[in-house]
Structure 1
Amino acid sequence: MITSSSPLPRRGVLALAGAGAVGLGLAACSGPSTAAGETGGAEQAKTDWSGVTPADTVTVWTNHPGKSQAVEEEFLARFAKTNPDITVEFVTAGANYDEISQKFQAALTGSDLPDLVLLSDVWWFRYALNGQLAPLGDLLPAAGVHVGNYQPGLLADYQYDDQQWAVPYCRSTPVFYYNKAHWAAAGLPDRGPETWSEFEQWLPKLQAAGTGAQAPYGLGKGTGNASWIHQNLIWGRGGALSEDWTMTVDSPEVLEASDYLRSFITRGWAAVSSSDQASDFGAGLYSSVIGSTGSLSGILAGAAFDVGNAFLPGGPAGRFTPTGGAGFAVPAKRSPEQQLAAATFLKFLAEDDNTAYFSQNTGYMPVTTGAVDSGPMQEVYAQTPLFKTAVDQLANVRKQDNARVFVPGGDQSTVTAWEKVMLQGAPSAEAWGTAQDEIQRSYETDVAPLVKA
């Protein structure tokens, strides 16, 4: 357990605890099913929140995104001052979003559930679809949460069937990072490429510049990375992994984008990171990468060179970016008292000062409009303009494709396709054809019977 260095009241202490590995033995490639009836998820009766008193404890399942343990300790002190009657505990429920969700899935069959669970963009929908999350439309106002202060596009990411199912917390967009010294050595302008075509013209110059990098461009792999980032490349070519609930995973535009990226590798312009492309970039192994906004603080802390960042490159069909990251949801099986206590903590997290503090110290985007305009964030943007790139890039945001974020296993299937092409040199038609079959089958089995038109 991690405790604060300053004395705190007995009640209201925000503790950090490690959780057991229940459910973490599940295969990483297998996601929770959306099969109805598994956990008894049912329509929730209306609650008269005016007659509910918040519980005195809140358990939060998280993976401490952006290495935010120190931020959580600061939240410990702040929350204790204003909410002495509620004790909040952060529990390490996994090393990443997938592990949290697998643990949550296992817990749904019993009573050992959190009051708040951090769910990523590819996990929350299946739980909402099965009635395993509490709708927040009435709960948030009952706790005094100023819902209208959330960034509208980020809040809307968790809406389905006229309900709000989660709220944004650690939210990001992928951004283009580049090594300014390598750019200068290659005679390039101090900015990111406007288009993929322009980047294609720059890569041979970087390759010939003698920078000592392993490759001019570093590629990421794994869930929450390759498939998320490369939606930009597909969209820029006029394609998509799906159109609403029609799966288009092996469409000509997807295959074209896949072949195009593979050509970067075969020409020696790009290499796939064996670990994390953002960390490798910070270590000087690549001249450029696309990585999460949430990686910015770590990159700046580790890099021995000047870092630049920019919007993602565009394509013939336009310049687009996906949002990503995770938000907090409330399990439906918690009592009204527990749900109201959880929402009380959400109110605290959504206060502009706290939202700004989290963003300042992790690099994630401020999820409230007030935090963006606050004095602390304006100081951050003035001192380190790189932090504002992701916020400005919200103008280019496009809703992620259902095939990736709403179909169970969709992220894993598309990541596997990218990795087959990037790492094994598999023909794009073969790799993406397999992904199309898997995702279509998952949609027909797990989503179509439950989804509302």
Structure 2
Amino acid sequence: MNGLPASGTSRRTLLRNVLALAAAAPVLAACTDDGDTPAPSASGGGDDKFPGVALKVACNPTSQQACAEAGKQWAALTGGTVTAEIIPYAERATSYASWIVSKDASYDVLYAGVDFISNFGDKIYLDLAKLLGDTSDFVPAALGQLTKSGALHAAPLFADMELFFHNKKNWAEAGLPEALPGTWDELYAYAPKLAVGNREPCVVPWNNNGVPFWIAFFNSTGGQLFSEDKSQLMFDNDKGLQTWQAIARGFQAKFFGTAGANAVGDQDTSLLFNQNLAASQINTTGFGSTALSTDPAAKSVIGKDDLGISPLPGIAAGTSGSVIVAEGLGINKFGKNQEAALSFVKFATGAQFQKQLVLGKAGQVLPSSRLSVSRDAEVATSFPFAAALAEQAKAQLAWPGNAPFKWNAPFLLGLTNLSKGTWTPEQAHEETINAVKKLMIAQMGA
């Protein structure tokens, strides 16, 4: 469903394996000139005609179906053709590096995510900031993930976020109000009433895939994890410590259960929630939507009217924070069909096709990257996540990706020790800072 990875994985888990480019840096640096191909004009989006032009799109599995459908519709409007091909994740970074060195023009449109923008930037992607025209309707945090050093290297195709899902039937049986309180501490106080039998109050895969959730808490403080070039660590302060302390209070209150904490990934916690083995979960709409699925693999026993969907609370009253998982479409700077590629990108990320995408009329359902689509009356009626996504989009959603060094491990070690009570929040904070600093120094010395 929704083009998501197989059980036990998530899009963020896939991000862990991005290629380290330090060894190739001298070669890649020599291949960043822009003199080979002129930039396309800002026209496009289906208004122009491109008879006989054959575009190739390098896709992630999540977006291949959407790109294929957008290609069919764009072809009918323009006379061109589109082939949307999946480039396996394990091969993608190596492929991009190879294409940069050889100035390969095989693919006209390229998958883009936060790590690929961070690693490759203007080495392979055109700057679309001026070419796209008005970008104010895109979710701001999605644009941020696809921007490097002021250059917008891709247009957002979708923008998924972490939200809070709860079983309203559990809430009612516990005598709790349906509306969520505004802070995590107030929510933790519900734990004794929600823990019934083997049902946990809330499931989060803290010990195996907990970093995005840590960042969601941290984002509610307004803090910044790293500098833009990831040369400076910026969570070694009170905001970072407050985040560890807030999560620790959730463990101490037994709001976060053991089964959830030890789950392999966020698809696994969604299955716990779907089977009523948890009264709530933090998850993306991609996995949270499986609670409404009739597919036996979703194992859902939750009624359509019993699924509560809300923005995440904050550590302090009046705050909220989450993380965004955005995927975009960039244009190959070495491509020979850049005018047509821009036209296709504008069509696929335009409001008309985005509405089809979120309503499931394009073969799959993905959360729109367009604010106007999230607020659309038909979408709000047909897509139950729209209102919560639009509200959550107002909060800080920064997700810095893992490149160029794998900083997940120190955070996961801290979360695991925190969940077991073997580290205090202060220890987790200090140990994580020290371990990440060592990784940064090693990366800079490579």
Normalising by structure 2, we get a TM-score of 0.75
**Counterpart for residue 161 of structure 2:** 173
Q: Distance in 2 between matches of 1:234 and 1:49?
A: 40
| 2:68–2:84 contact (8 Å) kept in structure 1 | no
The Cα of 1:442 is off from its aligned counterpart by: 5.1
Q: Cα distance, 1:439 vs. partner?
A: 3.7
User: Any residues of structure 2 matched to 1:42-441 within 5 Å, and which?
Assistant: 42-45=32-35, 47=38, 49=40, 56-65=53-62, 71-72=66-67, 74-94=69-89, 100-101=92-93, 104-105=96-97, 108-109=100-101, 111=104, 114-128=107-121, 131-138=123-130, 140-141=131-132, 147-207=135-195, 209-210=196-197, 212-213=198-199, 215-221=200-206, 226-236=210-220, 240-242=224-226, 246-265=232-251, 267-271=253-257, 272=261, 273-275=263-265, 276=267, 277-301=269-293, 302=298, 303-305=300-302, 306-316=306-316, 318-330=318-330, 332=332, 334-335=334-335, 337-361=336-360, 364-373=366-375, 377-400=376-399, 404-405=400-401, 408-409=404-405, 412-413=408-409, 415-421=411-417, 425-427=421-423, 428=425, 431-441=428-438
CA distance in 2, matches of 1:201, 1:76: 50
Distance 1:162 1:312, change over 3 A: same
State the shift of 1:175 in Å: 0.6
**Which residue of the partner structure matches residue 18 of structure 2?**
31
Q: Distance in 2 between the 1:48 and 1:120 partners?
A: 22
Query: How much has 1:410 moved relative to structure 2?
Result: 5.2
Shift of 1:106: 6.0
What TM-score does the superposition give when structure 1 sets the normalisation length?
0.74
Question: 1:200 Cα shift?
Answer: 1.1
Indicate if the aligned counterparts of 1:237 and 1:317 stay in contact, CA closer than 8 A. Answer: no
Q: Could you tell me how far 1:353 is from its partner in structure 2?
A: 2.0
Contact 2:285 2:367 in 1 (8 A): yes
**How far apart are the structure 1 equivalents of 2:206 and 2:117?**
22
Q: Deviations over 1:149-204 (max 9, x none)?
A: 43445324433333211211121221100011111121111122321111111111
> Paired residues, what number?
402
Q: Give the direction of change, closer, same or farther, for the CA distance of 1:116–1:405 in structure 2 (3 Å limit).
A: same
Aligned-residue offset at 1:312: 0.5
- Aligned partners of 1:116 and 1:331 also within 8 Å: yes
Structure 1 residues not aligned, in runs of 5+: 1-15, 17-26
Secondary structure of the 1:295 match is: helix
SS of the aligned residue for 2:314 comes to: coil
- Cα shift at 1:297: 3.0
Does the 8 A contact of 2:57 with 2:85 survive in 1? Answer: yes
Contact 1:135 1:163 (C-alpha < 8 Å) held by counterparts = yes
Between 307-316 and 38-47, the greater mean CA deviation after superposition: 38-47
Show CA shifts across 1:358-377 (max 9, x none): 1223664322244345xxx4
Amino acid at match of 1:228: P
* Aligned mates of 1:107, 1:243 — CA distance in 2: 28
Distance 1:398 1:69 in 2: 25
Q: Secondary structure at 1:270's aligned position in 2?
A: coil
TM-aligned CA deviation for residue 109 of structure 1: 4.8
2: distance between equivalents of 1:237 and 1:348?
Answer: 37
In structure 2, C-alpha distance between the alignment counterparts of 1:103 and 1:293, rounded to whole Å: 30
- Could you report, residue by residue, the CA deviation over 1:369-420 in whole angstroms, capped at 9, with x for unpaired residues? 44345xxx422312454332111222223545xxx43752355245534543
| Gaps in structure 2 of 5+ consecutive residues | 4-13, 44-48
Amino acid of the structure 2 residue aligned with 1:230: W
CA 1:422/1:99 → structure 2, altered by over 3 Å: closer, same or farther? farther
SS at 1:37 equivalent: helix
Percent same amino acid at aligned positions? 18
